[in-house]
Structure 1
Amino acid sequence: MEKSKILLGLALTGVLAITLIAADHIDAPAVAGGKSDVTDFYAFQGANTNNMVFVANVQGLISPTASATASFDENVMVEFNIDNDGDFEEDLVIQAIPRNGKMYFFGPVAPGTVGTSSTVKTENALGSVDITSYGSTALVASQNGASMFAGLRDDPFFFDFGQYSEIIAGNATSFNNPGNDTFAGSNVMSIVVELPKSLLGGSGALNTWVETKKK
């Protein structure tokens, strides 16, 4: 689940107004083409079944010819939210913030407040990883029981936008099999963190969502 709302919160340098914006591919005019645009969110059990994996992709439709210059925005924090008691409010957050070629991770930790404000939890550092550049082997860091990655990846989303448009226009009634992948060859900036389930609290199902928060 991805959310859109307005935030007022705290950041590394003090009290700041933060706008939270999140969306799917190319469907949010306020963030279209921006570095805070959420394209995909995944949460799943790891190959090690004791672990959970969280993945957030931002900046959809990055052209391969421009990928060498693609990067994360240092004014944008990506926050994974975890509800472990079923009340649909975040009990824990994992925060990812880029600085000087690295992605820094904080949490999982209880948020300062829920819903309308955000505090960067610098006292709860999980670790950091060098951001993987275009065409390079993935750089993965393992610290404090967690594994982390941040960098450019091929867009995993498959969608035949042309046929979708034909259906909406009334010129077709169904998708083709297999169809044409509109997003083939385009890239996203991806953030991945894998960590033990024991750090997430609760004993049942988790509700999770991701937000981007911009200074």
Structure 2
Amino acid sequence: MKKSKILIGAAVITMAGFFAIAADHIDAPAVAGGTSDITDIYGFQGQNNDNIVFVANVQGLISPTDTDGAAFDENVLVEFNIDNNGDAIADLVIQATPRDGKMYFFGPIAPSQPGLNSVILADIAVQNEVDITAYGASAIIETNNGMSFFAGPRDDPFYFDFFRFGDIIAGNETMFSSPGTDSFAGTNVMSIVVELPKAIVGSGDSVNIWVESKRKQ
């Protein structure tokens, strides 16, 4: 089995009613602009109301001219952590790791160990894979055992007026303008998407999810 060690921080959200977002573009100094940099995570109810969708985006601020050459890093593991009883400890994990043009998924399953280190759960029965969608191509989605998967470049969906935010922090402005300017407009991210039945995640009214990217050591 292959071991991966965490190298960056994680984005955390609490989902009540199954919708939440969090974003963190180039804010982690150790990995800013790198292939393991998490830009944002999303959780929302699927088109099928019995499903929930998790999204992790990495490698923010990719220009359209550079997107065709962008790729997932085969030395980086992206791990969705799910706490379904409110104790801030992961009860389930979904791991995603790329290899030779495919994204491989393991889980959801109880993590093999707590803490900062992870072992890729390559020997478990709950495994899925999807071809990584090329830039400009129709989305490739694989569905198996009630779960659906996607991996590939996408337009950055997060709307934020970063420069106005800087003015507010500096004391030059007191509030955001409406509608403001989307600082991320026209840039892309590398996106990993998992849709699965809510019943697999847990039976409570809310769950906590966080995403970690872990670099192979």
Shared fold (TM-score, shorter chain, > 0.5): yes
Local SS of the residue matching 2:138: coil
CA deviation string 1:157-213 (max 9, x = no partner): 111112112222222221111111110000000000001122223444211111111
4+ aligned runs moved over 4 Å, structure 1: none
- Whether contact under 8 Å (1:36, 1:212) holds in the other structure is yes
The residue identity in structure 2 corresponding to 1:188 is: V
Deviates more, 1:21-30 or 1:101-110: 21-30
Give TM-score, length-normalised by structure 2.
Answer: 0.88
Residue 202 (structure 2) aligns with:
201
- Whether contact under 8 Å (2:36, 2:59) holds in the other structure is yes
Distance in structure 1 (CA, Å) of the matches to 2:214 and 2:52? 23
| Equivalent runs, 1:1-215 vs 2, <5 Å | 12-13=1-2, 16=3, 18-22=5-9, 24-122=24-122, 123-215=124-216
Aligned residues: 202
Give TM-score, length-normalised by structure 1.
Answer: 0.89
Distance in structure 1 (CA, Å) of the matches to 2:103 and 2:4? 22
The residue identity in structure 2 corresponding to 1:51 is: N
Distance 1:17 1:104, change over 3 A: closer
Distance in structure 2 (CA, Å) of the matches to 1:179 and 1:120? 42
Deviates more, 1:65-74 or 1:192-201: 192-201
Distance in structure 2 (CA, Å) of the matches to 1:153 and 1:71? 12
Local SS of the residue matching 1:148: strand
- Whether contact under 8 Å (1:132, 1:139) holds in the other structure is yes
- Whether contact under 8 Å (2:6, 2:212) holds in the other structure is no
Distance in structure 1 (CA, Å) of the matches to 2:140 and 2:174? 44
Deviates more, 1:108-117 or 1:194-203: 194-203
Structure 1, gaps ≥5 residues long: 1-11
How many Å apart are 1:18 and its aligned residue?
1.1
The residue identity in structure 1 corresponding to 2:7 is: L
Q: Identity over aligned residues, as a percent? A: 61
How many Å apart are 1:125 and its aligned residue?
3.4
CA deviation string 1:48-89 (max 9, x = no partner): 111111000000000111000001000001110111122110
Distance in structure 1 (CA, Å) of the matches to 2:51 and 2:4? 35
- Root mean square deviation of aligned Cα: 1.4
Structure 2, gaps ≥5 residues long: 11-23
